[in-house]
Amino acid sequence: MSTATEARQRFKAMGRVRPRFWRMQNVRRMVQVAFLLLFLFLLALTVYPLRSPVPVDFFFRADPLAVLSTFIASREVIGALIPLAAVVLALTVVLGRFFCGWFCPMGTLIDLSDRFLVRRNRRAAGAKGFPQVKYYILATVLVSALLSAQLAYFFDPFGILTRTVVWVLVAPVTLLGRAVTGSPWVADWAPSLTQIPFIPESQPHYRMNLLAALLFAGILALGLVSRRFWCRNLCPLGALLALFSGWGIVRRQTKADQCIECHRCDRECKMGAILPDGHRYLARECIYCYNCVSVCAPAATSFPITLRREGFETATDLNRRRLLGFAGLGVLWAGISAGDIGAKKVGNSPIKASSPFRIRPPGSLPEEQFLQKCVRCSLCMKVCPTNGLQPALTEAGIEGFWTPILVPRIGHCSQHCTACGDVCPTDAIQPFTPQEKKYLFIGRAYIDRSTCIVWAQDKKCLVCDEHCSYRALHWKVVDGLRRPFVNEYLCTGCGECEAKCPVQPIAAIRVTTLGDLRHLTREAQKRFYERHLEKEE
C-alpha cells in the first residue's frame, strides 16, 4: 500500500481536523485591514493645514519601485527615501515576499474583490496566469528610468491606488461629509462632528476621475481571469520584491507521509505558486497568505524557519528575447517622450513650446528634473486647499502626463500655503516657506485688453487688483483713463487674479509660463526680486 493511500486512510479514521496554523491566516487578514485603514487615514489627513503625526507619504517611502525608479531617472539619491524602502527590501530578503500578502493595500482590495468575483467564476481559482510578464514590465520601467523617462507611475500599485482614491472618491466623500456636518440635527446633537478636520475647505473636483476609475475597475475585473491577476502577472513592484525573495528563511514544507494528495493547496493558492505535485512551490511567487495551510486537513503543510531546499524552487524562467524586447519598449518610451513637442524649446528660452499654461506648483524643480522625480502620486493635488492643482493632460507633453499643474480658473495658489512642498515624497516639489513664495516665480499674468472690462469697455473694475496677494497690479493713465498693468517683478503666477476675474468663461487676465524662473536657483530668483526692491527705493 502506498504512503499516500495510508495517509488517506489515517485521515478518514481521525476525521476532519482543522490545523492550528490557520490562526496565522487570520492574523494576516487583520494586518492587511490595519494597513489599508492606515493608508486611507493618511490620505484623509492630507489636507491643509497638515496635522498628521506620521508622514502622509509613508507608503511611497516604503515603495522600493518608486524609490529606485526616481533614483535612476534623476541620477540622485534622496536620503529621506532610503530607510523605509531599505527595510522593506531587507525584510524581503530574510522573510520572503511577505509585503504583497500582508501590507500592500492594493493587494488587500484585490483580495476583497476576488472573494466576490472568484465565487462566481470557479475557473479563476485554479488559473495559473503568466507570472513572467511582471518581470518584463519591470525591465521596461527601469530601462526607461535609465534614460531619464519616468514610467513607474503607470504601473506602481501605490500610485494607482492613491490616484484612484484622490481623483474618484475624495469629491463625493467630501460632498457627503459637508451634507452631514452642515445638517442642523448634527449641529444640535453632535456639534463636535461639525469640526471634522478631514473635510477640505473647498469642494474638490479632479478632471481625470473617470479614467482613474476605469483603470482601477479594470484591475479588479481581472479577478475574473485568475485570483490576484494583477499581483501574479503585471505588478512590477511585486516583480522587484520577488527578485529579492529567493533566499528567505521562512519556507513552505510538506510532510510526504501525511499528505493525502488532495491538491486543495494547489487549487487554493492565490498566486499559483504551488506546483502540480503539491510538494514543490515557486518561492518568488509565494506571498505567505497561508491559504495552503488553512485548507490542508491533515496538517501536512507548514511554514517553519528553515534553510532546507526540499520543494523550494527559485527559478524565474525568463525568456531572454522577450526581456530584451520589453527593455526595448523602455527605450521606445524614452524616445517618444524626448521627441514629443512638449520637450521642445524655442531658441534659448527655458519655456517649452507646447506649454503656455503648464504652471507648476511653487518650489518645483526645473522642468527636466521635475519630470524625472515626479511619481504622479497626486498627494500635492489632494492637499491643495483651493483645488487648483490638477493632473496635466497635454499641457506638459506626453512625458508630463498626470503631473500636477496649477489651473487658476479652478483655484489659485494660496499665499500662505506650503503644503505641496511638505507632502511631495520625491522632492520634485521642494519644501519652501511662505516668505519664499514671493520670489518663487512659476509664471506671470497678462491682461487680454480685448476682453478686460477696463480696457475693452472703458468701465471701472478693480477685482484683480483687490485680490492680488503680492500687489503686482499697478495703474497708469492711458487715453484719459486709469488702466491696469502687471508688474513682472512682483507677479509670481499664483493665479488669484485669474481665479477671481469676473469675465466669463475665459478670464481677461491669465497666467502663462512667461515669467517662469524655475530654471534659476532659488537664490537667483531671490536676487531677481530684490533688484526690483532696490529700484523702488
Residue 189 has pLDDT above 70, yes or no: no
119 vs 25: CA distance, rounded Å: 19
- Say what the pLDDT of residue 16 is: 47
CA distances in angstroms from 513 to 349, 363, 367, 372, 446, listed in the order given: 11, 15, 12, 20, 11
Query: What are 454's three cell numbers?
Result: 477696463
317 vs 130: CA distance, rounded Å: 11
- Say what the pLDDT of residue 5 is: 59
pTM for the structure as a whole: 0.90
95 vs 485: CA distance, rounded Å: 65
CA distances in angstroms from 428 to 121, 333, 355, 360, 372, listed in the order given: 44, 21, 18, 10, 8
- Say what the pLDDT of residue 251 is: 93
Q: For residue range 477-504, what is the model confidence (pLDDT) as tens digits? A: 998 899 999 998 999 999 999 999 999 9
Beta-bridge mates of residue 474: 485
Query: Comparing C-alpha atoms, which of 495, 449, 497 is closest to residue 473?
Result: 497
For the chain, the helix, strand and coil percentages under 3-state DSSP, each to the nearest 5: 50, 10, 45
Residues contacting residue 215 through CB under 8 Å, at least 6 positions apart: 160, 164
CA distances in angstroms from 14 to 1, 259, 261, 456, listed in the order given: 19, 14, 17, 94
How sure is the predictor about 19, in pLDDT bands with cuts at 50, 70 and 90? very low
For 381-420, give one letter per residue: b (16+ CB within 10 A) or e: bbbbbbbbbbbbeebbbbbbbbbbbbbbbbbbbbeebbbb
Q: For residue range 205-243, what is the model confidence (pLDDT) as tens digits? A: 999 899 999 999 999 999 888 889 999 999 999 999 999
Domains of the chain: 3-313 (no CATH), 374-536 (3.30.70.20)
Angle subtended at Cα 517 by Cα 515 and Cα 522, rounded to the nearest 5 degrees: 145
Residue 310 has pLDDT above 60, yes or no: yes
- Say what the pLDDT of residue 17 is: 45
473 vs 485: CA distance, rounded Å: 6
Residue 441 has pLDDT above 90, yes or no: yes
173 vs 149: CA distance, rounded Å: 35
The set of long-range contacts for 448-455, using a CB threshold of 8 Å and a minimum separation of 24, is 448/508, 448/509, 448/510, 451/503, 451/506, 451/508, 452/484, 452/503, 452/508, 452/509, 453/502, 453/503, 453/508, 454/481, 454/482, 454/483, 454/484, 455/483, 455/484, 455/508
Query: What are 226's three cell numbers?
Result: 485568475
- Say what the pLDDT of residue 329 is: 95
The pLDDT of 104-123, averaged and rounded, is: 82
Query: Comparing C-alpha atoms, which of 431, 331, 426 is closest to residue 375?
Result: 426
Q: For residue range 247-295, what is the model confidence (pLDDT) as tens digits? A: 899 999 988 888 888 888 888 888 989 998 888 999 999 999 998 888 8
Rounded to a whole number of angstroms, the CA Rg of the chain reads 28
Residue 10 has pLDDT above 80, yes or no: no
- Say what the pLDDT of residue 15 is: 45
Q: For residue range 46-81, what is the model confidence (pLDDT) as tens digits? A: 999 888 888 999 999 999 999 999 999 999 999 999
Query: Comparing C-alpha atoms, which of 412, 406, 442 is closest to residue 516?
Result: 442
- Say what the pLDDT of residue 351 is: 72
Contact 376, 159 (CB under 8 A): yes
CA distances in angstroms from 89 to 56, 70, 85, 268, 464, listed in the order given: 21, 16, 6, 27, 53
